[in-house]
Amino acid sequence: MSKTDLKEKAVALRKKGFSYSEILKEIPVARSTLSLWLRKVGLAKRQKHLLTEKKMAGILRGGAARREQRLKLTKAIHIDAEADMAGFNLRDLWLIGIALYWAEGNKERSYRVSQRVAFSNSDGEMVRVFITWLVKCLSISREDIKCELYVHETHKARIPEIINFWSEKTGFDQDHFTRIYYKRSLPKRTYRKNTGLLYNGLVRVNIASSTSLNRKIAGWVQGIIKNCGIV
C-alpha cells in the first residue's frame, strides 16, 4: 500500500472516531507522521463524543489496573509483616496494652486525681486487643469491664446495628451496652470522614474501682520511658 493510500485510510478511520492508538494498529507509520496527516481532519460531534468515551474507558482501565496492582502489593506486604509477628507472647501483649493505654487511656493529673482505668477508641480491633490485655495480662474479670457507647445523634436510627458491631468486637452480649451517650452533630461543619454506614461510634471501656491500677499503669509507662533509651 502506498503512502497516499495509508494516509487516506488513516483519515477515513479518524473520521469514524478511531483514536490515534487504534489507527496506529492498522497503519504502520510513526505517530508524528500520523499526527501530521490528521491535524486538519475535523470530527463530527458524535465522533468527538466517541473518542471521549474511549479515552475515559482507557483511564478507567488504567486506574483499575493500578488499583489491582496496589492491592496485590499491599497484600504481599501485609503477609510479610504478619510473619514478623511469629512468636508473639504474653509479655508482648502486656507491653502493647501499656502503650495503648498510654496513648488512649484516662490519666491521673494534678488537677484530676483518683482516675479509674478508662480507655476510649472507635477502632474495633484496638478495643478488642485492649480488652484481651485486661483479661489475660491484668487478670481483670469480664464482669468488672463496662462499656459505654458514644454515638453522634445523626446515627440514632442505626443503634441496633452499632450495638451489634461492638458486641461482635468485644465479645459482650448486646444487653451489655445499656449506656449510650449521644454527641451533638454539626454536619455542615464536620471534618469527620467516617460519617456513613461504616461509622460505629466510639466505645469507652471502664474498670470500676481501678484508681490504683491506673497509677500502676502510669508506673509501667515511666519504666518504658526510663528503659527504652529516650534521650
pLDDT digits (tens, 9 = 90+) for 158-178: 999 999 999 999 999 999 999
pLDDT exceeds 90 at position 90: yes
Domain count, the chain: 2
pLDDT exceeds 60 at position 134: yes
For 9-67, the pLDDT digits (tens) are 888 888 777 888 888 888 888 888 888 888 767 665 666 667 676 777 777 788 788 88
46 and 109 housed in the same domain = no
Mean pLDDT of the chain: 87
218 and 132 housed in the same domain = yes
User: Burial, 10: exposed, middle or buried (Cβ in 10 Å; 0-12, 13-18, 19+)?
Assistant: buried
Q: What's the grid cell of residue 1?
A: 500500500
| Single-letter code of the amino acid located at 3 | K
pLDDT of 130 reads 98
pLDDT of 137 reads 97
21 and 95 housed in the same domain = no
Q: Between 190 and 168, name the one with better pLDDT.
A: 168
Q: Which helix (H) or strand (E) holds 74?
A: helix 45-83
pLDDT of 97 reads 97
Write down which residue in 63, 78, 104 finishes a domain.
63
- Gap between the Cα atoms of 73 and 92, Å rounded: 28
Domain that holds residue 55: 3-63
For 65-78, the pLDDT digits (tens) are 888 888 888 999 99
pLDDT of 22 reads 83
Residue 81 belongs to some domain of the structure: no
182 and 97 housed in the same domain = yes
112 and 221 housed in the same domain = yes
pLDDT of 198 reads 87
Q: Which pLDDT band holds residue 203 (cuts at 50, 70, 90)?
A: very high
How many angstroms separate the Cα of 135 from the Cα of each of 24, 70, 94, 142? 68, 38, 11, 7
Residue 211 belongs to some domain of the structure: yes
Q: Which pLDDT band holds residue 92 (cuts at 50, 70, 90)?
A: very high
52 and 158 housed in the same domain = no
Mean pLDDT of 112-117: 86
pLDDT exceeds 80 at position 122: yes
Residue 76 belongs to some domain of the structure: no
Residue 106 belongs to some domain of the structure: yes
pLDDT of 24 reads 87
Please state whether 88 falls in left (phi above 0), alpha (psi between -120 and 50) or beta. Answer: beta
